Amino acid sequence: MNVTLRSRIVFCHIVSVICGTCFFNSFANAQNQNTAQEQNADRPNVLMICVDDLNDWIEPLGGHPQVKTPAIKALAEAGLNFRNAHCQSPLCNSSRTSVMLSRRPATTGVHGLNPWFRKIPALAKSKSMPQYFADAGYETYTAGKVYHNSWGRNLPAGSDPEFQHWGPGGWPGITPPKKLIPPTPAGNNPWVDWGVFDHQDNQKGDWKVADWAEEKLTVMPGDKPFFMAVGFFLPHVPCHVTQKWWDMYPEETLQMPPMQKNERANCSPFSWYLHWNLPEPRLSWLEHHNEHKNLVRSYLASISFMDSQVARVMAALEKSSHADNTIICLWSDHGFHLGEKEMMGKTTLWERSTHVPLIFTGKGIEPRSSNQPVELLDVFPTLADLAGLPVPEFVEGVSLVPLITDADAKSKRPAVTEHNPGNSSIRDERYRLIHYADGSEELYDMQQDPNEFNNRIDDESLAEVKERLQQYVPHNQVPLAPGSGQRILEEREDGLYWENQKIDPDNPPMSTGSTEKADLPRKVLSSK
């Protein structure tokens, strides 16, 4: 055989091997791709509904005896209703950061309305919940208020998107020409408003968010699983409603939240520093201006309107081809005070501020309720687990699937809420311990005293309970994140600062109710 012929044979052999290898690889890749597509097609979709400033005033939690929330009630009756769920921070941005990353404020340093975590160098590359689902082959969608201020739309070039598809942002929608209530403290914030005025429901931001969700659920293709996050703004202020919802709660029969005179007399005076100066007025302002009933009525009416938008989204899902293969999760970022503890708003460590709805519904989830303490931190790992994805190692929450599948299962830890470094609440199945940065504490028996009227921190019969819960108080907290602002309490060399203004206990900017000025702490935290 001459060299030329031998070369041709060798060449043909090489080509045949290469072609065969390429064909095999292409065939294998096609098989793998088909397998991946089949696996993706079998994975359940995820519909996550988050609500702003919604406390436990919903029918499934019974926080208010007159509230009407038929859609959320139906959702809870179809799945697992966690009746003892708590936020990790009683403020919008810090709570939502914790939910979307499954990390505590103690490890992110995010305690205020600023900054967004992507602007913090140590967190800029963190994997968020929607990004994790996108990496697993999900198509991701969002509308409304999911991240605070609807952050995440405009990321730097080259960044992984927070979501692949964006609808309208979270906002109130139409507002009246001027505020409906008298000027409020701390600058008369235009959003601190409530009441009824002449407008249509379809002019509200939440209506437009539900419009978008209805449309997407109707046309969503079935060849790829989706992760959709829908955020509703109400009952966040401004609590403006149309006459229909206002009339649902007549003033003559309206039940006000349970309160006591001088309710904070046996609370730690340091608690006032956690909300030293807010746009939301104190109870004394509400009573002086005869606005307390109007606020409660507007809040209830806003909740019922928001519930009607949840109903629209659920109806669209039910009519779609995805109804039988979608996990639904509903949660609120934190609670809200409506006069309890002599204040309005959030940013406290009591039940009214930390207690939130948390509901999971979907295939294989048996309808029932659980009183085990759980955290919003657990939403990310739980949804991953329910979707058949590995629970990421980087999350700090735990999957609640063991509690979902086993009615006798117990939580392995209490729920922890933080608000500014050094201040935390520990909530188990029965008790709440609050630890403040000056070392003062409060202890409540939530079975006997659900409104937290009786601080039993000095009760010797509860010494074992106090000691057990104290083990969960966060101590190794990272410093405040760079750029922290809005609702920030900070210790400096010369004292305590609120919003970069030094605190003067002799001149509170707002009412401290039954707490005497002389009782307000006057020492820096490090001197305790």
106: three-class secondary structure by DSSP: helix
Contact 367, 77 (CB under 8 A): yes
d(CA 71, CA 105): 32
H/E element, 172: none
Distances (CA, A) of 123 to 98, 105, 159, 244, 341: 12, 12, 13, 45, 35
Q: How many CB atoms are closer than 10 A to CB 41?
A: 13
Residue 80 tokens read as 């697992």
In the chain, count H helices and then E strands: 14, 22
SS3 content of the chain, % helix, strand, coil (to 5): 35, 15, 45
Half-sphere exposure of 483 (CA within 13 A, CB side): 11
**Is 239 a residue of the active site?**
no
Which parts of 437-506 fold into alpha helices (H)? 463-470
Q: Give me the catalytic one of 86, 111, 148, 275.
A: 148
**Is 19 a residue of the active site?**
no
Q: Give me the catalytic one of 50, 86, 87, 92.
A: 92
Residue 435's closest CA among 257, 274, 300?
274
Give the residue numbers annotated as catalytic, written as ranges: 92, 148
